[in-house]
Amino acid sequence: MYKVSGLHSWLTNLDADVLRALKEKSRQRDYSAREYVYKLGDPSSYCYVVESGRIRMCNYTADGHEIVMMEFFDGDCFGESSTLENLPRFNHACAVQDSRLSVISRDDFLLLYDKYPQIARSLNTMLAGRLRVAYGNAEDAAGLALRDRVARLVLRRGYSLEADPRGHRVISGLSHEVVANMLGSSRQAVSRELKALERDGFLELHYGKIVVSDIEALGSAFGRLISDETVVPDYQFGH
């Protein structure tokens, strides 16, 4: 498993002059918890960077069941794919908690995209990383039992975080329902598997938190069930 700095950011390796130009064209927007940044079918008018908070990418089935595709945290970028395509949004983006975003319009983004070739190269790198993540998720869904998929989701989220002073990875906001919506399962089934993983000593369940005391043990048991070439973002904080 590889930790990649800026896995979900195309800003990470840009030169200072390019970052300054982007900042001059950007403005801040605040979103309250549960407020939509955009909805399915909206025009793709902006690209976004998370300055603080948490943004969830999701869709809904015809009967209203939520499908969670991804969550973005401080420093992550989103919204660029549809902006490049100039097609309507193909999912929803919703603030999980009060969040502040940096926003750049499509016109300004394309102007700078043409002016600075670095932006295209950085975008390609980021999108290739996301494709690798998507392939890994598809392989898990096609080939693994639910317990293995739950464990690997917790492993990826925990591995992306900094350890606390005890060496534990404390994952906040990953409720049983959210895990179920990420994996296309039911909350009841996911709860059973999480409790089984807790009984086996791989994690501890607390209100609103999952604590992994030994990330290496979890990785040894579940990290190589299909491939050990998984990439995760290198977040320099706990969440």
- pLDDT digit string (tens) for 35-61? 999 999 999 999 999 999 999 999 999
pLDDT at 171 over 90: yes
Q: Which band of pLDDT confidence, cut at 50, 70 and 90, is reported for residue 108?
A: very high
Kindly report the pTM of this predicted structure: 0.91
Q: What angle do CA 147, 61, 86 make, to 5 degrees?
A: 110
The span from the CA of 222 to the CA of 165, in Å, is 25
- Tell me the CATH number for domain 145-233: 1.10.10.10
User: Which three-class secondary structure state does DSSP give residue 164?
Assistant: coil
**% pLDDT > 70, the chain:** 97
Q: Quote the crossing angle between the two packed helices 176-183 and 146-159, to the nearest 10°.
A: 110
What residue segments make up the domains of the chain, in order of their start? 2-132, 145-233
Please give the torsion angle defined by the CA atoms of residues 173, 43, 109 and 102, in that order, rounded to the nearest 10 degrees.
-30
| Fold of the domain spanning 2-132 | Jelly Rolls (2.60.120)
**Same fold for the pair 2-132 and 145-233:** no
